[in-house]
Chains A and B, each alone.
Chain A
């Protein structure tokens, strides 16, 4: 599994875009980038994943650099309910996800 590096914490104002970076310089060609978030005392929630191309769904956008060494998760209009720990994981499809410490995102009004 690719080692990922994320900032420990980030702050964001409600209504603004939250851009969460992730470095995964050792990611291999068949490893996906997955993003999950965990709100206190709940199970992780799947957000989005990508391999090479940028991806967008109803929750977020994922921008992956051309060399695949880093990516950015974008929450376009952050709300208070987006306050959570966000995990970026580089993983081969089908294998167990290994969680790092993630980024604690605090959204304030």
Chain B
């Protein structure tokens, strides 16, 4: 199956700082990537859809100025959490769509963000 990586796998930062998370499709090109977050004991929640070369589409309730998404190439999308606060602490997961009949999506291993 297709491989998606994320970096870093975990990060601890101070309140008020910004954190960048990278999502890469390693063996395929992805015109579309998706960003999710998951709080403890909850399911994945879609944050935004990232399209290569265009602006991301954010889900209702997700602040686009706080969660900056850039999809500058067919293999890389980044999520920057700006001015992070403790309530932003979560598990952030990306997925990338493989262009096919069913457009199967493959997920990265996730990034654990802890804001102190």
A interface with B by C-beta (< 8 Å):
32, 34, 36, 38, 41-46, 49, 51, 87, 93-94, 96-102
Q: When the two chains form their complex, are residues A97 and B34 in contact, meaning their CB atoms are under 8 A apart?
A: yes
* Beta-carbon contacts under 8 Å, B62-85 to A: none
Interface size class of B (residues with CB under 8 A): 20 to 34
Tell me the dominant secondary structure on chain B's binding face: strand
With A41-B110, A43-B108, A43-B110 as given contacts, are A100 and B43 in contact (CB-CB < 8 Å)? yes
Q: When the two chains form their complex, are residues A93 and B93 in contact, meaning their CB atoms are under 8 A apart?
A: no
Q: When the two chains form their complex, are residues B105 and A97 in contact, meaning their CB atoms are under 8 A apart?
A: yes
Q: When the two chains form their complex, are residues B1 and A96 in contact, meaning their CB atoms are under 8 A apart?
A: no
* Beta-carbon contacts under 8 Å, B35-84 to A: 36, 43-46, 49
Q: What is the chain A residue whose CB lies nearest that of B112?
A: A41
> A45, A93, A96, A99: which contacts B101 (Cβ < 8 A)?
A93
